[in-house]
Amino acid sequence: MEKQRLTDVSGDYMFGDLPVMVDYHITGEKRDDWMNGVSTLDLVMIQRHILGVAPFNNGYKMVAADVNNDGKVTASDLVILRKMILGLIAELPNNDSWRFLDAASPIVDVQNPWPLDEEIVIEGVDHDMMQQHFMGVKVGDVSQDASADGIQAETRTSSRLILQAEDREVKAGELVRMDIRADQMDNVNGMQFTLRMQGFVVEGIESGKLTVDGSNYGSPAAGEMTFSWSDENGVRAGSDEVLFTLILRSEQGGKISEMIELGSWTTRAESYSGEEFEVSKVELRIGKEDEVGSFALYQNEPNPFKQLTSIQYQLPENGEVVFELQTIDGKLVMQKSWKGQKGKNSLELSAADAPVSGVYYYTMRFQGQQISKALLKME
């Protein structure tokens, strides 16, 4: 006979009313939640292992790093995992999202844990056996920061990696070289982000201080570019050094700063630096800081959120700002106003501002203009 059960929220499972004095084989399987705990930081760690900079001393990390499920950790695993980070593939072609190993059989050879012991065998059952545990390993997550409930952990950090690019007017059909620099880049091992581009098509990318090629970016959706770069040793760069150059073709005329925006829509915007791989948010400034465009309201980050989320907005000049938060059925749960300052600003919402889980709409008004966006609060 064959039976299947879903574990409860605590990961517990039970098969009851089974015939005694027969043998049973138990296995676990999970094939969803693919991006849980997966980021460019994992690429950095796998790369450092392959090159001998920092070999894994944990057999479960070896299992997580074997992305293509061929019983070894090689550059092929990096290629496949980066495609998933860039949003080019939704799942791993030859693996599950989680592997479940018999917790009673610890890995002896941490450098070679294969073949995996993924089956609990019980012979001649004649009584209840309630301590049959599995060790869950999230494939691709060698940094071991996956969440058991599948909800992406919030990136709560005050540090920023500020990328910079020059602003100018472009014409339809023009081939645009967009040099990307950093305000300050010190011992950064990796970064990732998503660009939303209105009226631009990516034609290619060129290396600068960072070694990049076509495998470092993708276009998972129209008007979107994802980026992932990693280096096993870390890179330092001055503000006058070009990190990389984007080759773009403009399909319409306009100002670059009004056509390109960096965020976390598909690939989360963050970087990793220092010996402890400190996580920082990544931002893009196009043009000089004192060059301010029109009124703009940006998507909250992180989204969805549990405790805190940040909303950025831009004002062309000083003036009164009105902010409202409403439930999906139109009930007003927050309204406040303040004297806004010219330039880019941000405000924070806490869990107390959105008391129940679900979808909310937030609206900002400035000088007769109004912009609204949606956010998701989770328990």
- Domain ranges for the chain: 24-138, 155-289, 292-379
How far is 102 from 115, CA to CA, in rounded Å? Answer: 12
Q: Which amino acid is at 49?
A: H
| Residue 263 contacts residue 281 (beta carbons within 8 Å) | no
Averaged pLDDT in 10-residue chunks for the chain of 379 residues: 92 92 96 95 98 96 98 98 98 97 95 97 93 96 87 65 94 96 93 96 97 97 96 95 97 94 93 94 80 80 89 92 94 94 89 94 94 91
Fold (topology level) of 292-379: Immunoglobulin-like (2.60.40)
CB-neighbour burial class of residue 140 (10 A; exposed 0-12, middle 13-18, buried 19+): buried
H-assigned helices in the chain = 40-50, 59-65, 75-85
| Residue 235 contacts residue 275 (beta carbons within 8 Å) | no
| Residue 165 contacts residue 180 (beta carbons within 8 Å) | yes
pTM of the model: 0.82
Fold match between domain 155-289 and domain 292-379: yes
| Residue 6 contacts residue 12 (beta carbons within 8 Å) | no
Nearest to 191 by CA among 153, 234, 145: 234
Paired tokens of 374: 């949606």
How far is 162 from 242, CA to CA, in rounded Å? Answer: 13
Q: Which CATH architecture has domain 155-289?
A: Sandwich (2.60)
How far is 50 from 146, CA to CA, in rounded Å? Answer: 22
Bridge pairing between strands 270-273 and 278-286: antiparallel
For 13, 26, 29, 306, the CA distances from 5, given in Å and listed in that order, are: 7, 11, 10, 29
Nearest to 142 by CA among 253, 28, 57, 250: 57
Query: What is residue 50's predicted lDDT score, i.e. its pLDDT?
Result: 97
Question: At the top level of CATH, which class does the domain 24-138 belong to?
Answer: mainly alpha
Length of the chain: 379
Paired tokens of 314: 């831009």
Query: What is residue 49's predicted lDDT score, i.e. its pLDDT?
Result: 98
